[in-house]
Amino acid sequence: MPYNKIKKAASYLAQRADAWYSGVTGLGVLGVDPMQSFQLAARGILSPAQLEVLYHDHDLAATIVDAPVDHAIMLGWSVPADVDGDLRRASARWGVRDLITRAATWGRLYGGGAILLGIDRGLMEDPISIDQVQPGDLIYVLDLELQHITPHTYYDDPGEPKYGKPRTYSISRDAEMTGREIHESRLLIFDGARTTHNYRQINHGFGLSVLQRVYSTIMKTDTSFEAFYRFLQDLSQAVFKLDGLVNMIAEGEAQTVQDRMNAVNLARSAMRAIMLDADRESFEQIGAANITGVGQAMDVVMQRLAAAARMPVAILMGMSPAGLNATGESDMRSWFNTVQVTRTQYIEPNLQRLLQVIARSEAIALDVEIEWPSLWQMAPNEEADVRLKQAQTTEIWIRSGVVLPEEATQGHFGSGRYDPDISQAVGTIDDPTPED
C-alpha cells in the first residue's frame, strides 16, 4: 500500500485513544496489519449427537472427558462409620461405583448427566427428603444423559433459596419414562463446564460440554498428526522410469502400464528385488527427507492440547515425560489437585446423597461421611523409608516421655491397620507408673 494511503488510514485511527497504530509500519492499520483482519466469531454449540460420535470415535476427546472422573474414582472411597461393611456391600449390590462414574462422565461429555432415584414413596413430581426414605423404598437407580432430561418448571418464589433453579424435570429416556415429570429432589444432577446464563438457556438449562472449548484445538491437533503421518509416508519415495510412458498412456495402454507396476511392486514386496527391462525401464529410491525438528514441533502440538484440556501431557497422551519441557512431578501434583476438586466438589455431594438413600432403604443406621484415599501413592521402598523415620521419631518421643509406649502402640495399630498419626491416642491410657 502506498505511503500516502497508510498515512490517511492512520489519520482516522488518530481519532481513537484506545488503539496502537503506526503510520510508518502500518501497525494497527486495516489492510496493512494482518492482525487487523481477524475477529472473534462464535462457534455453534456441539449437539449431543456430535458429542456422542466424538466421544466414541476420538481417543483424545474420550480421554479429556474420562480422565478426571476415572482418576477420582479409581481408588474408591470409604465411609469411616461403616465398620461392619454393610453399606459397602449394599453399594456394590446397587452398582454405585459404575453408576456414579457414568453419570459424572455424561455431565462432562454432554454438559448434563443425572441419576434418577426410583424411590417408591409419594408421587414422582413431589419432593422427597432423606428423612422420608423408609426401608425398602428404593426400587431402582438409573443414569440419564442430557437429552433424557429437560427442566419443566422452576422455583418462582424470590424468597426461596433455589429461586430460578429447576423444580421439576421431564424425562424422555424410554417408553416407560417418556413424559414423566420428576421432582429435582429425586435426581442427582451432574452439571457441565462453567457456563454463562445465555448459553445455559441454549443448552436446555445445563452447562456446556468440556469438549466445547477444546474442540478446535482437537481438530488442529488431528490435522497436525495427519500431516506428520503423510510426511512419514513420503520419507522415502520409489521412482519407476519407463521409456515411452506418456505415449503408452496416450495410445490407450494405461492398463498395461498399471499391470506392469503391480507386477514390479509384487516382486519387490516378496523378494526385496526388482526385475526390469534393461532397455526400457529403470528404478531408483529417493533418499529420506530431513525430519530434524519434527519431534519438537509435535511436542508443542501436544502441549497446546494438554493446556486446553487442563491436564498433563503424560495423562492426555499416556506417555512418560521427556525433554526439556517434560511434565514432571509438579505437574502431576497439580493434576492431583484437579482430581481432588473433582472428587470433593463434583462427585461427593451426589455420592453422599445416593449412599444416604441406600443406607436408609437398606435399614443401615450410620452417619454417611465420605473419605477419599490419597492420590499420591508411594512406592514400597518409599513407604518403608517413611515408616522407618516415623518409628525413629516415635522412639525418641517414648524415651523423652512425650508419649507412653501403650499410647504409641494404640495410636499406630489400634485401628487394625497402621496409622502414622498417634495424636488421637495420647492421653487415653493411664500412666502405669505407681505414684511415690
Question: Residue 367 falls within a domain, yes or no?
Answer: no
**pLDDT per residue over 391-404, tens digit each?**
888 888 888 888 88
Question: Residue 324 falls within a domain, yes or no?
Answer: no
Task: From residue 110, give the alpha-carbon distance in Å to each of 46, 144, 146, 206.
Answer: 9, 11, 6, 9
**pLDDT per residue over 368-386, tens digit each?**
999 999 887 766 787 788 8
Question: Residue 323 falls within a domain, yes or no?
Answer: no
Same domain? 122 vs 26:
no
Q: Is the pLDDT of residue 362 over 80?
A: yes
Task: From residue 254, give the alpha-carbon distance in Å to each of 2, 259, 264, 266, 276.
Answer: 54, 9, 15, 18, 18
Tell me the mean pLDDT in the region 101-120. Answer: 96
Domain span at residue 245? 236-286
Between CA 390 and CA 375 the distance in angstroms is: 21
Same domain? 89 vs 204:
yes
Question: Residue 210 falls within a domain, yes or no?
Answer: yes
Q: Which three cell numbers stand for residue 232?
A: 512419514
Same domain? 64 vs 86:
yes
Query: Cell 474442540, residue?
Result: 215
Question: Residue 80 falls within a domain, yes or no?
Answer: yes
Q: Is the pLDDT of residue 323 over 50?
A: no
Same domain? 76 vs 163:
yes
Question: Residue 405 falls within a domain, yes or no?
Answer: yes
Same domain? 256 vs 158:
no
Q: Return the HEC string of 218-283.
A: HHHHHHHHHHHHHHHHCCCEEEEEECCHHHHHHCCCHHHHHHHHHHHHHHHHHHCCCCCCCCCEEE
Among 286, 313, 348, where does a domain finish? 286
Same domain? 55 vs 159:
yes
pLDDT of residue 433: 55
Question: Residue 375 falls within a domain, yes or no?
Answer: no
Tell me the mean pLDDT in the region 317-327. Answer: 57
pLDDT of residue 318: 79
Same domain? 211 vs 282:
no
Q: Quick check: helix, strand or coil at residue 109?
A: helix
Q: Pick the residue with more confidence: 397 or 431?
A: 397
Q: Is the pLDDT of residue 69 over 80?
A: yes
Same domain? 154 vs 279:
no
Number of domains, the chain: 4
Among 408, 360, 386, which residue's Cα sits nearest to residue 128?
A: 360
**pLDDT per residue over 163-219, tens digit each?**
989 999 999 877 666 778 999 999 999 999 999 999 998 888 899 999 999 999 999
With cut-offs at 50, 70 and 90, classify the pLDDT of residue 361: very high
Are the CB atoms for 28 and 22 separated by under 8 Å? yes
pLDDT of residue 325: 46
Among 286, 302, 327, where does a domain finish? 286
Question: Residue 436 falls within a domain, yes or no?
Answer: no
Same domain? 16 vs 78:
no
Report the mean per-residue pLDDT for the chain.
Answer: 82
C-alpha distance across the termini of the chain, in Å: 104
Same domain? 84 vs 165:
yes
Same domain? 101 vs 153:
yes
Same domain? 86 vs 161:
yes
With cut-offs at 50, 70 and 90, classify the pLDDT of residue 55: very high
Tell me the mean pLDDT in the region 312-325. Answer: 69
